[in-house]
Amino acid sequence: MNFAEGEELAKVKELMTKLEPEVATLKEAGLDFPHTTGEIFFTRLLRGNNGNLDEAVEWYRKFLQLRKTFGLDDVHKDCEAKNISWVASQMPDMKAMEPYATMVFDENELRCPNGNLMWYDAIGDFKSQEIFKEIGEEKFIKLCHYIFERRTSTIDKLSRADGKLIKITRIMDFEGASMSTLTNKAYKAVDEKSLKPVLLGTSIESVHLLFLINFPKFFVKAFEVFKLVFPKRLVARFRVLGTNYLQDKEFLTECGADITKKVVACSKVHAAGGVEDETFKMESTTETNVPAGSALERVVEVQPGQTVSWQFTLGPSGSGNSGGYFSRLAGKVAGSEVYFSAKAFWTDRQANEIDVLSAKVESAGVEDGDSAAFFVGGAEVAYTAGAGVNLVAVDPTTKALIIGQAFDMTKDSDAANKAFVSAIQELPRACFVLVGVKGTGAEELSEESWSALQDCGSTLKGGGHWHKGYAFCGVRGGVAVSEMRGGKVTAEGEMPTQEVEAVLYPSIEANADSGEKTGAVKVERGGMLILKWSNEHAMVASKNIAKYKISCE
């Protein structure tokens, strides 16, 4: 793609003029890097905001704040000092990551026929539980930040060298990927807090095309709904392909057969000849082991009016084949409980058929402004925040205020928590749920209160902090769009006005002494029902499902 010229170049210059104060501040601090202040970057910035100067200015200011929050300037300076290239093997702790993930990129060796850089991920190789256990979240986040930051500076460097705009062509290979891989709760929490903000908020117009290959046909419908959480300009570059991806003309033109075969050969799943996918297995009469920190999930495709029923029995902990001595011992001590639930992803509406509304929550702790404000559809909600944890619920269709109430956790936390939980539980399903702390209070939220927020999509770990802000945008019985915690924070995003996922059977505890558990739910929409036996709370003990049977009529 060519650089800016003519009228577009004039607008780029105008954009740079509008942002001169910010760039001057960076220059004074020695942080005016080419990939954050150069003409090529500002060209990307303008194009990524559809030529709208005001939106580009706003994006850039948020971009600078994100770079400061996540220390990306220090990452760049470290890469420059150590002469680190955008090569997978040169990223920090990548060697330790290799048994649990496959990420392939090399600015020197892996260039597409059109000059763009290739980035390959084997999703089926990704083992988040092992990564967090063996390497730790902190090192994993650091690795990802180095990948993201070095990618951005590298495409700027190559663009200057090649005399044209260089981008990333990304391949995400879903061979061997399970539903658990895609919906892992621990990874999702890390992604929402520390990865997605950097990946999407500190680069713009960097992706040329994103190919999802070996993508299960059944998940195509779900993907159409999941696209709602990504920027529209990025979604337009997604290409969903099955196992015959090498027969796709666009894929071959963009990626090339030889380089594709080279990177795909790095996948451990492919090297092992693939894996058996039991995601849709409806019955088992033999023990199924659920390791500590993980979950067993089974998926049922449903049509409106159908009823899904289930029955299952748990066996003693640690008796499965994969449980060693210490796991079995821990199972005897810790009990054999798992948490069973049923959740739906609705796929009967495509992303372009679901309207979205912007939502924003601003929250400031005691020392950072002591305030909270709520916005839906670009307008401030007619509610004045009180001291403590503020709960605001809005009807997604009419924008009418359902509830606006402050819960002061510092006076009688037990009573306030009970009232907070009750208020959330009484809300209608699929309504917008906004939470903002004014001053302090999130640190006093009980386990039951956090559980109620989890039913609205919360994934935050570690609770709230004293005298700090907390901002949350989610959907009752559904998904969270944004969640932030800190001195002065803002949670914002686009909220779907129709339900895209829902908890149909809330989590219940079951153990080996419970006997046979049965249940059923009737669905009114089409989509996927996910039955989940969670052992994510366990640190050591594996659990066993003696048998299960699922039916759909």
CATH of the domain at 525: 2.60.120.680
Query: Is pLDDT of 308 > 80?
Result: yes
Residue 308 and residue 376 share a domain: no
Whether the pLDDT of residue 91 is over 70: the answer is: yes
* Cα–Cα distances in angstroms (integers) from residue 462 to residues 195, 442, 459, 532, in the given order: 18, 11, 10, 23
Q: 216 pLDDT band (50/70/90 cuts)?
A: confident
pLDDT at 497: 87
Q: Are residues 225 and 96 in the same domain?
A: yes
Q: Is residue 181 part of a domain?
A: yes
Residue with tokens 């770990």: 461
Q: How many C-beta atoms lie closer than 10 Å to residue 459's C-beta? A: 19
Residues 316 and 441 in one domain: no
User: Given a cut of 50, is residue 329 above it in pLDDT?
Assistant: no
Q: Is residue 77 part of a domain?
A: no
Distance separating alpha carbons of residues 539 and 253, to the nearest angstrom: 47
**Are residues 509 and 476 both part of a single domain?**
no
Average confidence (pLDDT) over 180-192: 76
Quote the CA–CA distance of 368 and 360 in Å, as a whole number.
Answer: 18
Domain count within the chain: 4
**pLDDT at residue 357 greater than cutoff 80:** yes
Mean pLDDT of 528-546: 86
From the list 304, 303, 356, 305, the residue with the least C-alpha distance to 499 is 356
Return d(Cα 246, Cα 250) in angstroms, integer.
9
Helix (H, G, I), strand (E, B) or coil at 364: strand
Does some domain include residue 491?
yes
Range of the structural domain that residue 325 is part of: 283-348+501-552
Residues 45 and 126 in one domain: no
76 domain residue, yes or no: no
First to last CA, the chain: 53
Q: Are residues 109 and 255 in the same domain?
A: yes
Same-domain pairing of 240 and 121:
yes
Identify the band that residue 121 occupies on the pLDDT scale cut at 50, 70 and 90.
very high
Please check whether residues 168 and 56 belong to one and the same domain: no
Residue 47 lies in a domain: yes
The CA-based dihedral angle spanning residues 473, 477, 478, 482, taken in that order and rounded to the nearest 10 degrees? 20
The verdict on 521 and 474 lying in the same domain is no
Give the domain-ending residue among 17, 44, 69: 69
Q: Domain boundary residue among 479, 496, 513? A: 496
**Residue 301 clears pLDDT 70, i.e. is over it:** yes
- Residues 147-156, mean pLDDT to the nearest whole number: 97
Q: Which residues have C-beta within 8 Å of that of residue 17, sequence separation ≥ 6?
A: none
Least reliable range by pLDDT among 124-133, 147-156, 313-322:
313-322
Secondary structure of 271-296 in HEC code, one letter for each residue = HCCCCCCCCCCCEECCCEEECCCCEE
CB 438 within 8 A of CB 387: yes
Same domain, 151 and 287: no
User: What torsion do the CA atoms of 312, 317, 323, 329 make, to the nearest 10 degrees?
Assistant: 180
Is 529 within 8 Å of 344 (Cβ atoms)? yes
Of 496, 513, 540, the residue that ends a domain is 496
Question: Which residues face 212 on adjacent strands?
Answer: 172, 240
Provide the pLDDT for residue 227. 60
Mean pLDDT of 530-542: 84
Give 502-514 pLDDT, tens digit per residue. 888 888 899 888 8
State the Rg of the chain over Cα: 24
Residue linked to tokens 């991806």: 245
For residues 235 and 361, membership in a common domain is answered with no
Q: Which helix (H) or strand (E) holds 331?
A: helix 325-334
- Rounded Cα–Cα distance for residues 129 and 138 (Å): 14
- Same domain membership, residue 325 and residue 236: no
- Convert the pLDDT of each residue in 429-457 to its tens digit: 889 999 999 999 999 999 999 989 988 88
Task: Residue 219: count other Cβ atoms within 10 Å of its Cβ.
Answer: 21
List of residues 6+ apart from 94 with CB closer than 8 A: 88, 103, 143
Helix residue ranges per DSSP H, 163-231: 179-183, 185-190, 196-201, 219-226
Q: Give, in order, the Cα–Cα distances in Å from 373 to each of 252, 317, 484.
A: 50, 48, 14
Q: Where are the alpha helices (DSSP H) in 4-92?
A: 6-18, 20-28, 34-37, 39-48, 53-69, 72-81
Contact between 519 and 533 under an 8 Å Cβ cutoff? The reply is no
For residue 325, the model assigns a pLDDT of 44
168-173 sheet: strands from edge to edge: 103-105, 117-122, 168-173, 207-213, 238-240
- Give the residues across from 379 on adjacent strands: 376
Q: Are strands 207-213 and 168-173 parallel, antiparallel or unpaired?
A: parallel
Residue 513 in domain: yes
In a domain, 1, yes or no: no
Residue 79 domain-assigned (yes or no) = no
Q: Which of 98-112, 313-327, 353-367, 485-499 has the lowest mean pLDDT?
A: 313-327
